[in-house]
Amino acid sequence: MDDVIIMAILSLLGFAGYVLLCFATKEPRHRLGDLLIAIYGLVLLTTIVSGLFVNWHIYFWWESLVAFSAIYGFAACVFLIYVAKGLRLWLPKEMDYYEMKEGARK
């Protein structure tokens, strides 16, 4: 039963952190922006710290690295955005790209 409560609290914290992030980064800034970011940071820290006390089920060697999921999540997202930035060099075209190729006039 204790496990259930721990998991529920952690999950709710995580969800709250995620929602706070959206409020904290909007423009114009939220008047409590700094506080929201501080709470968000605390949630991040909680997931890392609680991860140190856990007996991980390991299927691959890399999962035994400290805070592997966190590092992987961060790296994956940065990788994703930078690859997308690279693709932006040649994938985007004007909205009427195909119509122009058919010989339509602007």
Partner 1 sequence: MIGWLHPGLILIFGVLLIPLFRGKWKQAYLLVLPAVALIDVILMFMGFFGDIPYSTWSLPFLGYEFVLGRVDKLSLIFGLLFTLAALTLVIYAIHVKSDSEHMSELSYVGGALGVVFAGDLFALYIFWEIMAIASTLVVWHGRTDKARRAGFRYILWHIFGGIILLAGIVMYVHSTGSSAFNALSWGAGIASLPSYLIFIGFIINAAVPPLHAWLPDAYPESTVAGTVYLSIFTTKTAVYVLARGFVGFEPLILIGALMTAYPIFYAVLENDLRKVLCYSLINQVGFMLCGIGIGTALAVNGAVSHAFANVFFEGLLFLCVGSVLYRTGTCKCTELGGLYKAMPLTCAFCFVGAASISAFPLFSGFVTKSMIISAAAYGHMGFIWVILMLASAGVFHHAGIKVPFFTFFGEDLGFKVRDPPINMVLAMGIAAILSITIGVYPHSLYQFLPYPVDFVPYTIPHVIGQLQLLLFASFAFFVLITSGLYPPEQNKINLDSDWPLRMIGAKFMWFVKGPLMALGANLDQGLRRIASFFKGYGGELEERMLVGVSVLIALIFLAVYLLVELIYRWIMS
Interface positions with partner 1 (CB under 8 A): 3-4, 6-8, 10-12, 14-15, 17-19, 21-23, 25-28, 40, 43-44, 47-48, 50-51, 54-57, 59-60, 67, 69-81, 83-85, 87-88, 90-95, 97-98, 101-103
Burial group, residue 106, by CB count within 10 angstroms (0-12, 13-18, 19+): exposed
Q: At 103, phi and psi to the nearest 5?
A: 95, 20
Considering the complex, what minimum distance in angstroms separates the CB of residue 35 from partner 1?
15
**Is-contact 44 17, C-beta < 8 A?**
yes
Considering the complex, what minimum distance in angstroms separates the CB of residue 5 from partner 1?
11
Considering the complex, what minimum distance in angstroms separates the CB of residue 106 from partner 1?
15
Q: Is residue 31 classed as helix, strand or coil in its secondary structure?
A: coil
